[in-house]
Every structure is written in C-alpha cells, then in structure tokens.
Amino acid sequence: MKSIEKLRNSKPVILPSMLMCDFTNIKQECDRLADAGAQAIHLDVMDGVFVPNMTYGIPIVEAFRKSTDMFLDVHLMIEKPESYIKQFADAGSDLLTIHVEATADPIGCIDLIHECDVAAGIAVNPNTDLEQIKRIAEKCELVLIMSVHAGFGGQSFIDEAIPRLKQMRELSDRYLLEVDGGVNKQTISRCADVGVDMFVVGSAIFNEEDYGSAISQLAILTETENKNA
C-alpha cells in the first residue's frame, strides 16, 4: 500500500481537492501543488446517481496518475462501488474511499480494495448515524467524515461535523481521520483540535494565486491548534 505510512508520519496532511483545478492543465496543476508542498491530492468521483452531480471517472484518475507521483486519495461517491474497485485500483489509486450508504456490503468492498493492494477508507454523510461505520472503521486505513452534503464543491461547513469527528477520533487512533467539505482558514483549526489528520481543501487553495502560501497557512493553523490542545 503505497505511501500510507508516510502520510501517517507527516500529519497534518492538506489535500488539494482537484475538483476545482484547471483540467486543461492537469500536469501543470500537479507540478504547482507538488512544488507548493502538497504530499497528496484528493479526487472526487461522482456518478450522478449516488450524488446529484457528475464529475469524472477512470480515465481522469489515470491522467492524474501519469501526471504526478503524489499520493492519489480517490473518493468514490458512486452507487455499488464494488463494481469498479479493481478498475480504479488499476488506474493508479493509492487510497480508495467508499461510502457506507452506497453499497449493501461495505465490508466486502473494503476487503476487495485490500485485495487490490490499495489502502481503504470508509466515508459517511452528515445525516448518517456513525454506528453504521464503527465496526467497518476497524478494517480501514482511513475514516472520512463529510462536513458538507456529498455532491458539490463550495458548500459551507456543517458545524455538526465537529462532534462526529471527535467521536470517531476517540473511538480509535488506528485509522487516519479525514474531513471533507468547507475546510478553510476559518474552520480548519476546529477540525485539528478534535484530532483530524487529513484535510481536504478546495477553494481555500485554488482561489489563491500562490498555492504554496495557501497550503502553508492552512498547515500552520492546524499545527498551532494541535500544540494548544
């Protein structure tokens, strides 16, 4: 499983959400982010069925893999992800995260991801009871708590995500804890304070001219909060 231990040893990790990048210049965007200090990037795959939006699929993941050596954190917001896990693994994903709400057999999906020698994550939407993922989380390298409703970028952070993140952190330190949605300079410290390891960030990076400065400022906010906690 490529680099997952490296990420564990490099916390906190700021993951640019590539949904907001310039898709006409994937290689250039990846190079800029790598030069800015990004260790990993986050790819949102949406099917227009599980969520009310469509983004991209296997060919785009392959394009990112060919464009960068950075860790590819691939978030599958798709129905019946078990039908596509091997294809996304073969496309170059380093981590595949599936939604507990999207499959009748989430543990089977996690097992299948591991059989492909890829790290596995379980994601949960804001309105889903955390009890649905607690048993599954023990088998995963990552737990993703959505802090917006899955499907669109640019949404505002849902405050109720904070106690949910805290609950999953207190349950175990075994997995990396990730937050996705509305993460910016105003919200990232609160997430860090409850033990988040990985922060998916979109507009707070891509709306800035200097990616390096944006990532550095976000990382400083998480470190300051962790030191004061």
Q: Is residue 55 within 8 Å of 76, Cβ to Cβ?
A: no
Of 94, 180, 193, 210, the active-site residue reads 180
Half-sphere exposure of 210 (CA within 13 A, CB side): 6
Q: What is the rounded CA–CA span in Å between residue 218 and residue 145?
A: 19
| Residues contacting 42, CB < 8 A, separation 6+ | 15, 16, 17, 18, 73, 75, 180, 200
Q: Are strands 142-146 and 13-16 parallel, antiparallel or unpaired?
A: unpaired
Is residue 180 part of the annotated active site? The answer reads yes
Is residue 22 part of the annotated active site? The answer reads no
Angle, vertex CA 188, rays to CA 185 and CA 190, nearest 5: 125
Residue 209, both tokens: 């001219």
Of 22, 44, 69, 173, the active-site residue reads 44
Instruction: Please give the positions annotated as active site.
Output: 44, 180
